[in-house]
Structure 1
Amino acid sequence: MTSPLRALLVDDEPPALERLQELLRLCGDVEVLAMVCSVQEAVGVLQQHPIDLVFLDERMPGGDGHTLLGQIPQGVEVIFTTAHSDYAVDAFAAGVHDYLSSGCRQRAWA
Structure 2
Amino acid sequence: MITAVIIDDEPNAIELLQGYIKKLSFVECIHSFRNPIEALVFLKEYDVDLIFLDINMPQLSGISFIKTLENPPKIILTTAYSEYAVESYEYQVTDYLRSSL
Whole-angstrom CA distance in 1 between matches of 2:24 and 2:71? 25
Deviation at 1:102, TM superposition (A): 2.1
Deviation at 1:75, TM superposition (A): 5.2
Tell which structure's C-alpha radius of gyration is larger.
1
Matching residue of 1:64: 61
Q: Encode CA deviations 1:52-76: one digit per residue, 9 max, x unaligned.
A: 0000001111110011102334251
Deviation at 1:47, TM superposition (A): 0.8
RCO comparison, higher one (Cα < 8 Å, 6+): 2
Matching residue of 1:99: 96
RMSD over aligned CA atoms reads 1.2
Q: Encode CA deviations 1:16-63: one digit per residue, 9 max, x unaligned.
A: 101101100101211111100122011011111111000000111111
Higher helix fraction (1 or 2): 2
Find the partner of 1:42 among 31, 39, 60: 39
Contact residue 63 and residue 88 of structure 2 kept, 8 A: yes
Whole-angstrom CA distance in 2 between matches of 1:71 and 1:39? 11
SS at match of 2:14: helix
Whole-angstrom CA distance in 1 between matches of 2:2 and 2:69? 16
Contact residue 66 and residue 72 of structure 2 kept, 8 A: no
Structure 1 residues without counterparts, runs of 5 or longer: 104-110
Whole-angstrom CA distance in 1 between matches of 2:69 and 2:23? 26
**TM-score with structure 1 length normalisation?**
0.85
Find the partner of 1:27 among 12, 17, 24: 24
**TM-score with structure 2 length normalisation?**
0.92
Contact residue 34 and residue 45 of structure 1 kept, 8 A: no
The share of aligned pairs that are identical, in percent, is 35
